[in-house]
Structure 1
Amino acid sequence: MPSSPFPDPAPPGSGRHARRPRGVAVAAVGVAVVLIAGAAVWMSRADSVAVQSPRVAGVESPQPTPVRASGSPAAPSTRPASRKPPARVVAKGGWTPVDQAAWEEQLAGYRRTKADPPGDAGNLPEFRADCKYSHRRPDDPIVAPGLPGASHMHSFVGNKAVDAGTTADDLMKFTATTCKPTVDHSAYWVPTLYEAASRKPVETSGFRVYYRSLRDNSTGVVPIPNGLRMIAGDAKRKVPTPRGAQGQFYCAFYGPGDIDGYARSDNGNWPICGEPASLHFMLQFPDCWDGRHLDSPNHKDHLTFGTNAGCPAGHPVRIPALTFDIAYAAKGSKAGYYLSSDPDGRSASSMHGDAFLMWNADAMNQRVRNCIAQRRTCDNDGYDPFSL
């Protein structure tokens, strides 16, 4: 298996039409497949995470305080080892309003951002963050904010200080991260994967977050507002994931057999990969935002998928779409695996991902301008590797 689970783009000097490495080609095909499945799941609007400790009925929630959508976080730091969870603040009806003044400030900064001279474009307009495993907690600051231990187990990457009480302000204040670039202070998480035989956790060996244009043009695209929350997938979906099913783990990068593996687990839900391939999963997020809310009751209604013609009237703001490309240092087994979101079902259908977004505003602006708006393939530093 390669030293990195995500091969880099073509070497310098390869030119506009250079062939991308085979692993990246597989990822691109995976995005197309996952996008179709993701859109179907998104449109179902099902709640994405089953909270194991229900919210207390009859308790009136305080009125929300709008979350600032811009600003450059403080110097990197880590949260104190122990702290009392903050008082839980829940937006009325589950809708978290964006601070419109802060959002306008962020947009004004983007409009002032000048593009670097364009180089040869790559195959995809994108930039990315490569993240390492950080920690594991039964917490979910999006679905169960302020309720430690109320969720199934999650594996976190990115911001190192995340727990059930994490807020957007925390992400701006406690900025130590496992991601490259370090100007990405966001938190990303997925349900923990376990070996069925040993019941031991299998943590991610690579976690790449692409910020992409899913369309054939970048008309009207703007940066993602800081503090935006989003979820892809459905933690309550519990159906088999046999060979050929959508929403399953697959084998990359190459080896005997195909992406569904040269064999399957005894229950048929998990691929068994040959050398040098390993287990991967991809999750696709939408690219249109309503422009008014950083979160919604089911954590999906404030976002939707657009088309090449643009975004729908109810979600008019076009933003880069996140894609999670997740690698595991595992090749599959006859006993198979299970996810913390479905320990009894032993299938992959409940796989889902959460993103709580926070970037240095200037860094986000420059990447959206250079990479998405100019249709260039960029690396972790926001540069265009095809023009070096």
Structure 2
Amino acid sequence: MALVAPSNVLALLRFPCGQLVIDRIDPLVNPGVAPSPHLHQLVGGNSLNITMAPEKDMPAESTCTSCQFSEDFSNYWTATLYFKAKNGTYKRVPQIQNSGFEGVKGGMTVYYMQDGLYNFQQTSKVTAFKPGFRMFVGDVNARTKEVAERYRQLTFTCLQNINTRDPQTLDFPDVPCPAGMMTAVRFPTCWDGVNLDSPNHMDHMSYPEHGSFESGGPCPASHPVRMPQLFYEVIWDTRPFNNKADWPDDGSQPFVWSFGDGTGYANHGDYLFGWQGDALQRAMDSPCYQNCPTLKSQNAAAMNACTIKRKVNEDIDGWVKVLPGGHVANYIRKRWE
């Protein structure tokens, strides 16, 4: 979907982040643990480490970021995706960039919006995240639609071309996708105004009282502060695995998250805020559309140059007999209609 800016748009940031590292670390859910239970793809500032204490000054400790805006030293991550072959071995599916961001290696597209993606008015006043803020959305143990529906708009799109955005599903597409598979991770937008984190990394945030992720409804009294809509798009290059002859004979789909979920319902994402100074608030208060005159940008070469070494030495590129961490695929079989 090509986005066209209306004349009265206020703030909608859409930008690429290149691949910082693919590693079995998770400084939000499993701080200090290496290896963490499953493999992630992480982008953003290079101060990323396995601990990431809340008092960490990410802008001061980073020397580069893999994201377009050079004042953004936040870290963004998701699990990685694998293809399971008929012989039971697995191969990691690489990421590719969105339309318009060619030349940036791997990674994802990140959005910050005053309102949702399909609300082009973008008129809500929002309060930017604070230093030390972090959050998580999704359920790594979800294996049914009913559980997945507790989280609004964690979806998949089977890309017919790079600009396809609909239809969206909560589970993995069950047919080969001509241009790859896109996952979308949309975070809640209402903050309790007090806590920068919570034990499950979710309770300090809430969805609006009514309406969908677009924040069309008011925030609940328990979480009264409206914050930017944070949204990831990750495009997985599933095209090398589109030969149906390589797919399971029973008609089920062959993709699996790095922690073993073959349904797709356990789609999830992590976020550590790390913008420099008041850069994000300035952007949210300014007439920004994708590119923002109040922010400093860097080119694809600079984004690609910002990487860190993996903490866990294991094979993440070849065919493997088990997923990193010893996981095996857990599928609910679904036949093609």
TM-score by length of 2: 0.65
Q: Which residue of 1 aligns with 2:69?
A: 181
Separation in 2, partners of 1:346, 1:142: 24
Q: How many residues align?
A: 251
Q: Which residue of 2 aligns with 1:264?
A: none
- 1:215-259 C-alpha deviation (Å, 9 max, x unpaired): 676454222212211112211112379xxxx8553223538x995
SS of aligned partner of 1:366: helix
Separation in 2, partners of 1:305, 1:182: 30
Higher radius of gyration, 1 or 2: 1
Q: Does 1:249 align with 2:156?
A: yes
1:347-358 counterparts in 2 under 5 A? Answer: 347-358=263-274
Task: Assess, with a 3 A threshold, how the Cα gap between structure 1 residues 134 and 313 changes in structure 2: closer, same or farther.
Answer: same
Task: Assess, with a 3 A threshold, how the Cα gap between structure 1 residues 322 and 382 changes in structure 2: closer, same or farther.
Answer: farther
Contact 1:130 1:179 in 2 (8 A): yes
Counterpart pick for 2:290 among 361, 369, 378: 378
Q: Does 1:273 align with 2:185?
A: no
Q: Which residue of 2 aligns with 1:321?
A: 229
Task: Assess, with a 3 A threshold, how the Cα gap between structure 1 residues 379 and 252 changes in structure 2: closer, same or farther.
Answer: farther
Return 5+ residue gaps in structure 1 as ranges: 1-5, 17-119, 262-266, 384-388
Return 5+ residue gaps in structure 2 as ranges: 98-107, 147-152, 209-214, 248-253, 296-337
Q: Which residue of 1 aligns with 2:92?
A: 201
Contact 2:11 2:284 in 1 (8 A): no
Q: Which residue of 2 aligns with 1:312?
A: 220
- 1:168-192 C-alpha deviation (Å, 9 max, x unpaired): 4152312421100111100011111
Separation in 1, partners of 2:188, 2:52: 23
Contact 1:128 1:380 in 2 (8 A): no
Q: Does 1:338 align with 2:240?
A: no
Task: Assess, with a 3 A threshold, how the Cα gap between structure 1 residues 382 and 195 changes in structure 2: closer, same or farther.
Answer: farther
Q: Does 1:154 align with 2:40?
A: yes
Q: Does 1:236 align with 2:158?
A: no
Q: Could you tell me which amino acid in structure 2 is paired with residue 128 of structure 1?
A: R
Separation in 1, partners of 2:282, 2:165: 38
SS of aligned partner of 2:285: helix
Q: Which residue of 1 aligns with 2:58?
A: 171
Q: Please state which structure has a larger fraction of its residues in helix.
A: 1
Q: Could you tell me which amino acid in structure 2 is paired with residue 205 of structure 1?
A: I
Alpha-carbon offset, residue 260 of structure 1: 6.2
Contact 2:191 2:227 in 1 (8 A): yes
Separation in 2, partners of 1:154, 1:355: 13
Contact 2:95 2:234 in 1 (8 A): yes
Alpha-carbon offset, residue 377 of structure 1: 2.9
